[in-house]
Amino acid sequence: MSRYVYLVRHGEQQDAEHGLPDGPLSGRGQRQARAIAERLSGVPFSSVHTSPLQRAVETARLMTQRMPAIEPEPSALLMDCIPAGPSPAMPHAFESFFGGVTAEEIAAGQAQMADATAEWLSPSRDDRHDLLITHNFVIAWFVREVFDAPAWRWMGVNQANCGLTIIRVRTAKPPVLIAHNDLGHLPAELRTGLPVDQPF
């Protein structure tokens, strides 16, 4: 039996460039959410879970309008967080990121991600498809977990708004990454959220 986990980063947030911690989707973010909904409309999802933050909840609502048989469930395990802190092996280039991050935030993020990966990267008795609408750092941690990479390697793993990552969880073998940050459903003008120096 296989479990497929579909990770979608929320759509573009309105006024995100002003540093607001949360808010509604922009018009472009709404179009992104509808595009990924169209892409996934034929998948027989067993469940849909979303971060409780507004930008993720709105993305989930727009997506599940095309999936009327299923209702999105908020989960604190999908909240935006800092999944892990600095380590001796981490390149110095990443150190500045942690300047304003507290030890408490890091500890909370570590505990959250341990619970999240235990919840959704565990094998299932039946074939199932789970949709998770969440945040950049959370998806980065899931990808790092699949590769069993050092803890700091979640840094530098980036997802565009409404990019699609798919993980297959198997019973007797390690999970595998099927797709990462797939943007095939988004035209060029809707591809936002990646670092400015990263080509599309």
pLDDT grade, residue 23 (50/70/90)? Answer: confident
Tell whether 170 is covered by a domain. yes
Tell whether 38 is covered by a domain. yes
Q: Tokens 């997802």, residue?
A: 159
The encoded tokens of residue 86 equal 């600095």
Tell whether 200 is covered by a domain. no
- Spatial distance between the Cα atoms of 45 and 48, rounded to a whole number of angstroms: 7
pTM over 0.85: yes
Identify the domain containing residue 73 by its residue range.
Answer: 2-190
Tell whether 99 is covered by a domain. yes
Tell whether 198 is covered by a domain. no
Tell whether 199 is covered by a domain. no
Per-residue pLDDT tens over the stretch 75-93? 999 999 999 999 999 999 9
- Spatial distance between the Cα atoms of 44 and 94, rounded to a whole number of angstroms: 40
Question: Left (φ > 0), alpha (ψ -120 to 50) or beta: where does 163 sit?
Answer: beta
Where residue 87 sits, what CATH number does that domain have? 3.40.50.1240
Can you give the pLDDT at residue 108? 98
Tell whether 163 is covered by a domain. yes
Tell whether 126 is covered by a domain. yes
Q: Is 151's pLDDT higher than 50?
A: yes
- Spatial distance between the Cα atoms of 8 and 1, rounded to a whole number of angstroms: 23
User: Domain total for the chain?
Assistant: 1
